[in-house]
Amino acid sequence: MPQVTVEVNGRAYRLSCGEGEQEHVLSLSKRIDRHSNSIEVNKSPANEGRNMLLTALMVADELHEKEQRVAALEEEVAALKAGGAGGAPDERIAEMETAVAEMLDRAAAQIEVVTSEIEAVT
């Protein structure tokens, strides 16, 4: 299983990931690092667990907003399908469904990375 070293809040962590997911994990860790760096609290090692929790909450809030957007898009897709001729989805609906699926996949990957980071800290 491939491994990748990510850096969050000035600390390096060695993580295992699926084949071909290395760049994705690095990208996600950079996103978490940006959230972590935006926290205006004491960066001492004693507060590391608290800071990671705050970071995880920020990412969870971001995910929640995306989930709400996905739900709204799903409702729009359902309404378009119901109003379409014979219920056959048009090209726009197919694109929206693909976008929703991709957002959910990215959200799931983010949750996995945050969970791994929190477990590594505790």
Q: Where is 110: in which H helix or E strand? A: helix 91-121
Q: 37-67, pLDDT tens digit by residue?
A: 888 666 666 778 888 888 889 999 999 999 9
Nearest CA to 74 out of 59, 89, 58 is that of 89
Q: Where is 51: in which H helix or E strand? A: helix 48-83
Q: 5-32, pLDDT tens digit by residue?
A: 999 888 899 999 999 999 999 999 999 9
How many Å apart are CA 73 and CA 97, to the nearest integer? 8
CA–CA distance from 40 to each of 30, 34, 49, 118 (Å)? Answer: 18, 12, 15, 19
Tokens of 106: 């990215």
Read off the amino acid at residue 32. Answer: I
pTM of the model: 0.57
Average pLDDT, the chain: 84
Q: 92-117, pLDDT tens digit by residue?
A: 778 888 889 999 988 988 888 888 77
pLDDT at residue 61 in the model: 92
pLDDT at residue 41 in the model: 66
